[in-house]
Amino acid sequence: MSFTHETRPDEYLRDENTLCACIDEVVERSPIFDVHTHLFAPQFGDLNLWGIDELLTYHYLVAELFRSCEVSVEAFWKMDKPHQADLIWQKLFVENTPLSEAASGVVAVLSALGLNPRARSLAEARAYYETQSPYSFLNKVLEISNVSDVAMTNDPLDDRERQVWESGEPIDNRFHAVLRIDPVVNGWTEAFPKLQSMGYKVSQQIDGQTVSEVRRYLEDWIQKMRPLYLACSLDSSFAFPEASDRERLIEQAVMPTVRDHDIPFALMVGVQRQVNPALRSAGDGVGRADVQAIANLCRAYPDARLMATMLSRENQHELCVAARKFRNLLPFGCWWFLNNPSIIEEITHERIEMLGTGFVPQHSDARVVDQLIYKWRHSRRVIGQALKKSYLSLLEDGRVATRREVEADVSKLFSGNFREWTCLDVIQAPLSYEVKRSKSQVGDSR
């Protein structure tokens, strides 16, 4: 996008055309801190996914494929990845118009890379990717998408990830760790043997020693990873309080740890796992959750910083109301099934109307590096539209904005709010954690 007129910082944007042009420019040029992804830095080897085959076999497109062809699920999973990608390309891009968000996103990626989105085969795309290295391609994508920083999602219980962290190899400083805890919180029966194998004295019963050892596990990996926040994906039945192992682990291990280390806890609520197990990672669904669970956490732990995103569209207004009542709650992103332009614009405008600029409008949730191109191209466009509505309404009511104000607001939304919430400058300073046991001893309830 080219810009023909750049306004001065303190110039008043007195008419609609000048105001909208300024917003377009600032939104396009402002760097993004992508606060939640499933991407990995190149140091993680095969976990760093990129390329045309990975792009096309993304689970959004896998789910869409089976609505467009007669190939059985069983036959599809027997194919290797290149043949899966060829099939998806043929059915969704050659035989059908790629109108869905996931399909049009692939078109946006190919176009940005100078490749033909109407090609009859993947030969040209594969030849292009063969000339790229992981580092050169990553640099290209970050430049095109204007993403300055990426938050990963890291699970120390994954042997492949843990080897990288324990190797001590420096991680690309544009990638930031996030400690994922839902394998422990949601799947204790499967998690505790893994923790035992790592030297933690836990048992299947959530007793005092197990809680203490889970805290030791969290503290060890906070020290090792220096994560921006702890993250947990939760199903639509999540409640707090509730009589469950999940609640005991959150109440007695997670919340004391995040308070002691002064880092946020991010909750991602509303998934319904394996609605159609035959689709594997494409088989998860969505359910309306109870926002009161998040409000209860905010009230029980007023000195803890919480982040929340919810998967159901129906939960968004209630989440905004909760954020108005609890200043220790930061709504973020339009997650997963909400990552569609029409819904992003609606939710962003609703949040502006209720919270001003006090939220993070979007995260990419990307699993493949290439996806940063289309997810942020599309999100910038619709976030800009939501901002225009609000600024134009303000103009009609008699308040004229300046370019400096627009820049400040966009900077908050795209990076500043998250940096402040995670105290990023402190995290990047030399590590000096001191666990304040006197503040909340192991086993204390609240």
DSSP letters, 167-210, are: HTPPP-TTEE--EE-HHHHT-HHHHHHHHHHTT----SS--HHH
Residue 6 has pLDDT above 90, yes or no: no
| Average confidence (pLDDT) over 183-195 | 96
State the amino acid at position 362 in one-letter form. Answer: Q
For residue 443, what pLDDT is reported?
A: 36
Cβ pair 392, 16 in contact under 8 A: yes
State the amino acid at position 377 in one-letter form. Answer: R
Lowest-pLDDT choice from 124-128, 283-287, 291-295 = 283-287
CATH architecture of 49-130: Orthogonal Bundle (1.10)
CA–CA separation, 386 and 391 (whole Å): 9
For residue 437, what pLDDT is reported?
A: 34
Strand (E) or helix (H) holding 76: helix 73-78
Place of tokens 């820049």: 407
Helices (H) and strands (E) in the chain, counts: 21, 9
CA–CA separation, 265 and 414 (whole Å): 20
**pLDDT single digits (tens) 372-408:** 999 999 999 999 999 999 999 999 999 999 999 999 9
Residue 150 DSSP SS3: strand
For residue 432, what pLDDT is reported?
A: 33
Q: Which residues of the chain are in CATH 1.10.2020.10 domains? A: 49-130
CA–CA separation, 61 and 93 (whole Å): 11
Q: Give the list of residues 6+ apart from residue 349 with CB closer than 8 angstroms, or none.
A: 386, 389, 390
Residue 230 has pLDDT above 50, yes or no: yes
- The CA-to-CA distance between both ends of the chain, in Å, stands at 52
Cβ pair 360, 379 in contact under 8 A: no
Residue 247 DSSP SS3: helix
User: Which one is predicted more confidently, 128 or 445?
Assistant: 128
Entry field: residues in the chain: 446
In order of 224, 256, 346, the CA distances from 420 in angstroms are 22, 21, 25
HSE on the CB side for 193, CA within 13 Å?
Answer: 2
Place of tokens 């959750």: 289
DSSP letter for each residue of 372-402: HHHHHHHHHHHHHHHHHHHHHHHHHTT---B
The structure tokens listed for 26 are 């600032």
Q: Which residues of the chain are in CATH 3.20.20.140 domains? A: 16-41+145-427
Percentage of the chain lying above the pLDDT 90 cut: 91
DSSP state of 430: P
Range 16-41+145-427 has CATH code 3.20.20.140: yes
Q: 424 falls in which pLDDT band (50, 70, 90)?
A: confident
In order of 41, 58, 92, the CA distances from 171 in angstroms are 7, 25, 37
Phi, psi of 265 (to 5 degrees): -120, 120
